[in-house]
Amino acid sequence: MLVMFNLDKTSGFIGEARQVASPNCDERPDQCAPSLLVIHGISLPPGEFGGPWIDQLFTNRLPANKHPYFAAIADSKVSAHFLIRRDGELVQYVPVDRRAWHAGQSCYAGRNCCNDFSIGIELEGEDSTPYEKAQYDCLSRLIKTLRTTMESLANADIVGHSDIAPGRKTDPGAAFDWHKLRMLLGDN
């Protein structure tokens, strides 16, 4: 049985998460509660894990001169609600009641602008490297918590970034085991 996290409905933060406030968020449109969970994969620089770079990207402090790849993305204004590190650490950047800037140009079930109605969950990883057991465990706990404590997410679909931005995005990639996640959630 999955042990849930503690979501403070007043603040929109998970108590057990390391909190790193991102300025890259805003209010959701009126009457637009989150109803979709979007799984992403991220590594900075690409294919490398660990380090402060993801936190720095989501807080607009990524040093463009530290890696050639960073020069192209350092001015990006992006965020996600959550990041799950390789070791299973949960980091939260944006309260769940606010709109994080994670999906970009996107569409799901005929609805555009998925940021308006979704929760963005980044997994530290990349398309072809298997994700860690600790990440699946944390992800399933997080999803169970969100589905149980937020009425609008009770029956939320779970999709990859590639599903809402096909042709533009490929994450979380072929290495992400959707079957394993469904088994952990009991969504067989």
Query: Which residues are catalytic, by number?
Result: 122
**Residue 158 structure tokens:** 């779970």
Full strand arrangement of the beta sheet holding 82-84: 18-19, 90-92, 82-84, 118-124, 36-42, 157-160
| Cα–Cα dist 102/39, whole Å | 10
Distance between CA 23 and CA 42 in Å, rounded? 19
Residue with token string 């968020």: 25
CA dihedral 171, 4, 94, 51 (to 10 degrees): -60
For residues 77 and 15, give the distance between their C-alpha atoms in angstroms, rounded to a whole number. Answer: 25
